[in-house]
Homo-oligomer: A and B are copies of this chain.
Amino acid sequence: MAKKDLSDRPVIGIDLGGTKILATVVAPGGEILARSKAKTRSEEGPEAVIGRMIACAKGAVEASSVEQSAIAAVGVGAPGPLDPDTGVIIDTPNLEGWQDIHLAEALRKELNIPVFVDNDVNMGTFGEFLFGAAKGTRYAVGVFVGTGLGGGVIIDGELYHGFNKNAGEIGHMIALADGPRCGCGNKGCYEALTSKTAIVREITAQAGKGKGKKATQAMFLSGQPITSSMIKKAVDRGDRMVIKVLNQAARYLGIGFGSLINLFSPEVIVVGGGVVEALGDEFLGRARKFAFKYALPLAGDNVRIVRAALGDDACVLGAAAMAWHRAAG
């Protein structure tokens, strides 16, 4: 099929998250012309959430001063598992009631332009690859450490999907067989060792045994939701129990990087997400040390492990780029 050149027209990039929706209008080259946000409130069901996505998209277009008719396509990063070919969300634990939801079709009906959907962490990886910390490479792995741990894989300049279209589920590489229980039901997944959920679980268990500072115990045993910056606060307080837990989590993160290097031989691993943003270079530095201990010597040569550069914009920029790419396809 001949490629239509749509790369000179703006697109809409949307990040559908568990807690918030971010819609943007993105100019060719990756400049975000306007943005519009809303809370997801997934407890109201898929129809209401899709309604808010459309409202955000229209709001962003309005704020951008771009004519709606000039917009070429929509790209969406959504929680998976999903089918990127059809834009159907198959089933996601992060949004209430989203089973077999035809997201692309629902958006297309309202916006009257092509809509493409892919996994949110894939889109974050693709954004960092095209516009951020992995720019200029051909082989990259994105690792996003937040409530869970997800990522994506770039192979020879393309996002990798594999036979069942959901490759790169790096959070569910088994790194410690028979280790802690993961949200997926199995034990010892990478995600169960080094995500925010894993870190909070371990600190809470230690606090429950009377370990750590009183302020840490009060915070973690209160039952309130724990944010990454609350973990950082306990570190700043000099709580050695917390630091020990984080050192172990960073070590596991690094061991997983080592595996990813041995398997995928990337030029760069881009690391983002709330945990890494809050805990910063010390956490990542420790992970990096173990990564190169566990990478085979040749596989690790000249490999960089760097922080993500785009923050919350990685996903919308990746989604926008996917829209250009696939609309031209």
Closest residue of chain B to A138, judged by CB? B163
Per-position binary interface string of chain A over residues 293-309, scored 1 when its CB falls under 8 Å from any chain B CB and 0 otherwise? 11011111111000000
| B299 & A164 in contact (Cβ 8 Å cutoff) | yes
How far apart are the CA atoms of A184 and B297 in the complex, in Å?
Answer: 10
| B164 & A303 in contact (Cβ 8 Å cutoff) | yes
Docked complex: A256-300 residues within 8 A CB-CB of B: 256, 258-259, 262-267, 293-294, 296-300
Contact check: which of B155, B188, B259, B296 meets A184 at CB < 8 Å? Answer: B296
The main secondary structure of chain A at its interface with chain B is loop
Copies of this chain, tallied across the complex? 2
| B299 & A177 in contact (Cβ 8 Å cutoff) | no
Given contacts A263-B263, A303-B163, contact A296 B169 (CB under 8 A): yes
Question: Can you pick out 30 interface pairs between chain A and chain B where the beta carbons lie within 8 Å of each other?
Answer: A81-B297, A81-B298, A139-B162, A162-B266, A163-B265, A163-B266, A163-B303, A164-B299, A164-B301, A166-B299, A167-B265, A167-B299, A168-B263, A169-B296, A169-B299, A170-B262, A172-B262, A172-B294, A173-B173, A173-B262, A174-B256, A174-B259, A174-B294, A175-B175, A176-B178, A177-B179, A177-B193, A177-B255, A186-B258, A263-B264
